[in-house]
Amino acid sequence: MKALTQSEVEERLKELPHWMVKDGKLHRSLQFKDFVTAFSFMTGAALIAEASNHHPEWFNVYGTVRIDLTTHDAGGISKLDFKLAKKLNELAGAYL
């Protein structure tokens, strides 16, 4: 797996709503109605990540979940990050 170029990342971001590059990682912040909803999303996201063998960096306080994606082995953002981000967007739609 190799990191995508900056232009490849920018092009793929056009098709990935709510995500941006922050500190060299794909980033999204979500605001759920409460902690239980946020944690339910995180539980589903954990199962998706485990099945993909690609795990997010994330942070949660009450209804806020912040997600950062990068492929450490590639040294940057890769196709795996965009694939996981797309799945997380689909999952988030069920909770937001």
E strand residue ranges, 4-95: 20-22, 25-31, 57-61, 64-69
Do 40 and 95 meet the contact criterion of CB atoms below 8 Å apart?
Answer: yes
The domain that holds 14 is classified in CATH as: 3.30.1360.20
Model-level pTM? 0.95
Residue-range definition of the domain harbouring residue 12: 6-93
Give the tens place of pLDDT for each residue, 43-56.
999 999 999 999 99
Tell me whether residue 1 is in a domain. Answer: no
Number of structural domains the chain divides into: 1
| Encoded amino acid at 10, one letter | E
- Output the pLDDT for position 1: 85
Q: How far apart are CA 96 and CA 86, in angstroms?
A: 15
